[in-house]
Amino acid sequence: MDFLHGISHAVSEALSMDAEDIAAMMEKPPNREMGDYALPCFKLASRLKKAPPLISKELTEKVIPPGFVSRMEAAGGYLNFFIDKSLFAKNTLERVMREGQAYGGSEEGRGKTICIDYSSINIAKPFHIGHLSTTVIGNALYKLYSHLGYRCIGINHLGDWGTQFGKLIVAFKRWGDRERIEAGTVSEMLRLYVKFHDEAEKDPSLEDEARVWFKKIEDGDEEALSIFNFFKELTMRDVQHVYDMLDIRFDSCAGESFYNDKTAAVIEELRAKELLEESDGAFVVNLDEYGLPPCMIVKSDGATLYATRDIAAAIYRKKSYDFDKCLYVVAYQQNLHFKQWFRVVEKMGYSWYKDLEHVAFGMVSMEEGTLSTRKGRVVLLEEVLKSSVGKARSIIEEKSPDLEDKDGAARMVGVGAVVFGALINNRIKDIVFSYDRALNFDGETAPYVQYTHARSCSVMRKSGGGVQGKIDYSLLCDDDAQEVVQNIAAFPATVKEACRRNEPSLIARLIVDLAQSFNRFYYDHRILEEDISLRNARLMLTDCTRHVIALGLGLLGIAAPERM
């Protein structure tokens, strides 16, 4: 039985109430001076027909606290419980050791499936910094939910549909060169695209030609498809470098074109359910009742829209994966889009519309003065990662001239810094990326957390055999040690909360707190003490810190170097 349930049980005995109900009422006080657990007695007021301060006072006399409670105290309407510090350390640290890789995980997701639509880059367009957040938030959610036992399906919903592909084919046939594109990939495709627009200004008939070619892709024309697939394969090959650097893989890359042959059925269904309205030759679903503009389903020229394909995709995913939740990690600019088509699914009568969730996030821009912004061009993610690795390499050269694998460490630190930079803030916030900030070894950064991890690994190496024999946890009752234990103990609930709110930043924040508390402990306490009991207890704390930091970084998709 854990602390929470032990206390709830004791309270439930005193009140002849269900222990689970009490457990659900219990809170964690905002700071530890107020106790480790608190029972807010106002939640009992109507049931007991008494004022909360009276309830808490009476309970101090009636409740027989379990042995691990060192103190119980009424404070206004709260009944506060203080856990014995030594037992708190023992329970927490031994649980970490016992559960190992599974620490903070659970079985709550057993038998449940979550689809996560993330990264979702566009074919023939650069993989730019605007796709950083969706890629790393989606990946972190994938790992977090997996840790809770959910089956996750990671989907890269490729943007591989639209009239621009007709234009690209026209440009390719006139001015394109296979070899040049193979060598230059996306930048070469962009060049063709720009060329098309320049030429189409002089000769508008090119636009008609592009429409014809796009229609040919839609109809499955062999030549059109082969050129289209050529663009697609090359883009995918190009972006694979970025995914490799980030160590990200997907379970499915079924993008918009995959739904080309599945939209007709959706339109038919909408028509049969009498949800389609004609509007200037186009067909829309009216959403007045929700105060939303109508959702366009078919354009006047018969073409389908982004929303049509998203509806088809949701229906397909429900059929194929029977998801319990389907998350869309997409920038807040698309808020309206998701609101609209979620409502269309609701109007179609699918009760699972409520399992669709738009996980929105803010914009990422580069700090003024970085090379990329000065040139006024798109900032490629690959370039940002590489340049961060380069900068990490020089910092490491300076800080750790004797390190053996400097390149390996620089890759982990440089990439980690960028990923962490996109995860440390509440996801809805806009962020301005700065290399200096992200690579600051003393800030709220990956390098700082990674460095703390490497430091604790180094202490463990120097200790020789690590923790040996029995541990006297009463030696971990000072404030500094307790602070570390507290952060370690918060990990399981934080993983859960991060999933509940789809907010990986909670984990990023917790491992920063853990690293900071450990470093305070480290500066004020010698770990490799002569005294064997002291040394053992402190090594246990160090080892658990090392372990939880590595776990936390891992859940964020960031490597934890053992030396740096």
117 is an interface residue for ligand ARG by CB under 6 A: yes
CA distance 51 to 27: 19
Query: Left (φ > 0), alpha (ψ -120 to 50) or beta: where does 35 sit?
Result: left
CB of 165 to ligand ARG, least distance (A): 14
Q: What is the dihedral of CA 367, 373, 379, 383, to 10 degrees?
A: -80
CA distance 90 to 472: 9
305 or 527, CB closer to ligand ARG?
305
Which residues between 121 and 140 bind ligand ARG (CB under 6 A)?
122
Stretch of 116-124, 178-186, 457-465, 478-486 lying at the interface with ligand ARG (CB under 6 A)? 116-124
230 or 332, CB closer to ligand ARG?
332
CB of 247 to ligand ARG, least distance (A): 22
Stretch of 117-125, 416-424, 475-483, 550-558 lying at the interface with ligand ARG (CB under 6 A)? 117-125
317 or 391, CB closer to ligand ARG?
317
CB of 117 to ligand ARG, least distance (A): 5
CB of 378 to ligand ARG, least distance (A): 13
Q: In this chain, which of 8, 12, 91, 120 binds ligand ARG, going by CB under 6 A?
A: 120
Contact at 8 Å (CB) between 153 and 251?
A: yes
Which amino acid is located at 246 in the chain? L
223 or 261, CB closer to ligand ARG?
261
Token pair listed for 253:
């890359």
Q: How far is CA 273 from CA 491, 494, 550, in A?
A: 48, 44, 52
Q: How many helices (H) and strands (E) does the chain have?
A: 22, 12
Angle, in degrees to the nearest 10, between helices 306-321 and 263-272: 100
Cβ atoms within 10 Å of 146's Cβ, excluding its own: 16
317 or 411, CB closer to ligand ARG?
317
Stretch of 78-86, 114-122, 177-185, 384-392 lying at the interface with ligand ARG (CB under 6 A)? 114-122
CA distance 308 to 261: 12
Stretch of 68-76, 115-123, 377-385, 478-486 lying at the interface with ligand ARG (CB under 6 A)? 115-123
Q: Which of 242, 167, 135, 141 is nearest to 507 (CA)?
A: 141
Q: What is the dihedral of CA 425, 426, 430, 432, to 10 degrees?
A: 0
235 or 487, CB closer to ligand ARG?
235
Task: Report, in angstroms and rounded to the nearest whole number, the Rg of the chain calculated over CA atoms.
Answer: 28
Number of residues counted as binding ligand ARG (CB under 6 A): 8
Q: In this chain, which of 310, 480, 503, 543 binds ligand ARG, going by CB under 6 A?
A: 310
CA distance 121 to 36: 46
Cβ atoms within 10 Å of 5's Cβ, excluding its own: 16
Q: What are φ and ψ of residue 295, in 5° steps?
A: -95, 120
CB of 241 to ligand ARG, least distance (A): 19
CB of 317 to ligand ARG, least distance (A): 10
Q: How far is CA 529 from CA 221, 459, 463, 535, 539, in A?
A: 76, 12, 10, 5, 10
328 or 342, CB closer to ligand ARG?
328
The contact mask relative to ligand ARG for 314-343 (x = CB under 6 A, - = no) is --------------x-x-------------
CA distance 25 to 39: 7
Which residues between 135 and 194 bind ligand ARG (CB under 6 A)?
157, 159
CB of 336 to ligand ARG, least distance (A): 12
CA distance 305 to 256: 10
72 or 248, CB closer to ligand ARG?
248
CB of 361 to ligand ARG, least distance (A): 12
CB of 442 to ligand ARG, least distance (A): 35
Which sign, positive or negative, has the C-alpha torsion 419, 424, 425, 427? positive
CB of 286 to ligand ARG, least distance (A): 22
Q: Which residue is nearest to ligand ARG (CB)?
A: 159
Q: Which helix (H) or strand (E) holds 117?
A: strand 113-117
342 or 522, CB closer to ligand ARG?
342
The contact mask relative to ligand ARG for 269-308 (x = CB under 6 A, - = no) is ----------------------------------------
90 or 128, CB closer to ligand ARG?
128
CB of 389 to ligand ARG, least distance (A): 25
CB of 328 to ligand ARG, least distance (A): 5
CA distance 501 to 144: 12
Binding residues for ligand ARG (CB under 6 A): 117, 120, 122, 157, 159, 310, 328, 330
